[in-house]
């Protein structure tokens, strides 16, 4: 929604803030910048658990070993 305010398509549509940048269509840059900023803020306040980052999910070894033993016993 934010990027629509910076769209500038002469003769078709011009967002309310398109005139601030001289009529240049910067909607893609605004969309990419605002999504990057939002993702960085979300990652800062809701970080991934450490087992996702380093690949050592807790308890996965026991699960795999039980499943292997069960399939080998049949």
Residues 22-39 pLDDT 10s: 888 888 999 999 999 999
- What's residue 21's pLDDT? 81
With a CB cutoff of 8 Å and minimum separation 6, the contacts of 24 are 8, 18
Phi-psi region of 6 (alpha: psi -120 to 50; beta: other; left: phi over 0): alpha
Residues in the chain with pLDDT values less than 50? none
65: left (phi over 0), alpha (psi -120 to 50) or beta: alpha
Instruction: Give the per-residue pLDDT at 24.
Output: 82
> What is residue 42's predicted lDDT score, i.e. its pLDDT?
94
């Amino acid at each position: 929604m934010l990027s629509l305010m910076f769209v500038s398509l002469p003769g078709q549509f011009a967002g309310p803030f398109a005139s601030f940048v001289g009529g240049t269509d910067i909607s893609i840059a605004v969309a990419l910048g605002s999504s990057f900023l939002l993702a960085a803020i979300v990652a800062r306040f809701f970080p991934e658990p450490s087992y996702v980052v380093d690949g050592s999910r807790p308890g996965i070894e026991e699960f795999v070993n039980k499943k292997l033993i069960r399939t080998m016993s049949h």
